Amino acid sequence: MNADPGHDPSTVPSSPGPTNPPAGPAPVIPLGPVLGRLTSVLAPPDLVGWFGRVAPLEVDLGSGDGGFLLRFAPRHPERNFLAVERLLGRIRKLDRKAPRLGLTNLRALRVDAAYLVRHLLPPDSVAAAHIYFPDPWPKKRHRARRLIQPGFAADLRRVLVPGGTVFLRTDDADYFGQMREVFGAATGFEEVPTPADLRAVPTDFEQEFHAQGRPTWHAAYRKTG
């Protein structure tokens, strides 16, 4: 998820720009059936206008080829789903596959997940955040690059609606320990069970790991207050 985004217009930087965003949401320009391009790296995207309706929003941060959302979104037509991915090739695969399923509740952005959460998503706007198999950065000197950090947990709490939930999965035992430590210590979260219907929907990585007999771990944390 950390490849160089190059000069593709569908992406935004991973570091913040000026701190005074324009007033009001910025339109999203459709680039394909579900893929869109942000028109501002400062203002929140106009997701209601892009989806064409108001509905609970769930975000898949680091969606890869979108295998999870392609399985989960059809089960919940009453929800809006936003795929977030840095790698252009992966998100283009999702853009090709989604129309074959007739999905109207799925959209995709090529953008850094941490940047989107910290700078672009409005407060109390996300019903659920799915973070599945993020890069584990296994070397000790690289662990500061992991997505799940105390500051990111605080950013997630800001954008989640009251009662909104963060769902986590990983195949890395050390990273799972860090995930539990971060959210266990974060203000305004409580650990909750992952719903059975959600656990039953695998990601592409998860299918591969299970086929190889490799264990995976999952956890969920709900925003309190």
pLDDT of residue 11: 54
Place of tokens 């991973």: 14
Type of residue found at 124: D
Q: Can you read off the two tokens belonging to residue 67?
A: 């295998």
**129-171 pLDDT per residue, tens:** 999 999 999 998 888 999 999 999 999 999 999 999 999 999 9
Type of residue found at 42: L
212 belongs to a structural domain: yes
H runs (alpha helix) in the chain: 47-51, 67-72, 88-97, 113-115, 150-159, 173-185, 196-199, 204-211
Type of residue found at 225: G
- How far is Cα 83 from Cα 27, in angstroms, rounded to an integer? 17
pLDDT of residue 6: 36
Q: What is the CA radius of gyration of the chain?
A: 17
Which residues are CB-neighbours of 25 under 8 A, at least 6 positions away? 43, 44, 45, 46, 47, 48, 49
pLDDT of residue 140: 87
| Residue 121 to residues 26, 87, 155, 161, 169, Cα–Cα distance (Å) | 11, 20, 10, 12, 22
Type of residue found at 119: H
35 belongs to a structural domain: yes
Annotated active-site residue 155? The verdict is no
Three-class SS of residue 78?
Answer: coil
Which residues are CB-neighbours of 148 under 8 A, at least 6 positions away? 131, 134, 168, 175, 178, 179, 182, 183
- How far is Cα 13 from Cα 24, in angstroms, rounded to an integer? 20
97 belongs to a structural domain: yes
Which listed residue (135, 155, 174, 204) is catalytic?
135
20 belongs to a structural domain: no
182 belongs to a structural domain: yes
Residue 129 · residue 160 · CB < 8 Å: yes
- How far is Cα 14 from Cα 112, in angstroms, rounded to an integer? 6
pLDDT of residue 21: 56
| CATH code of the domain covering residue 145 | 3.40.50.150
Q: How many domains does the chain have?
A: 1
Place of tokens 């039953």: 200
Q: pTM of the prediction?
A: 0.90
11 belongs to a structural domain: no
* Domain around 157: 28-223
Residue segments in the chain with a per-residue pLDDT below the cut of 70: 1-23
pLDDT of residue 10: 52
7 belongs to a structural domain: no
3 belongs to a structural domain: no
Which residues are CB-neighbours of 125 under 8 A, at least 6 positions away? 44, 47, 57, 159, 161
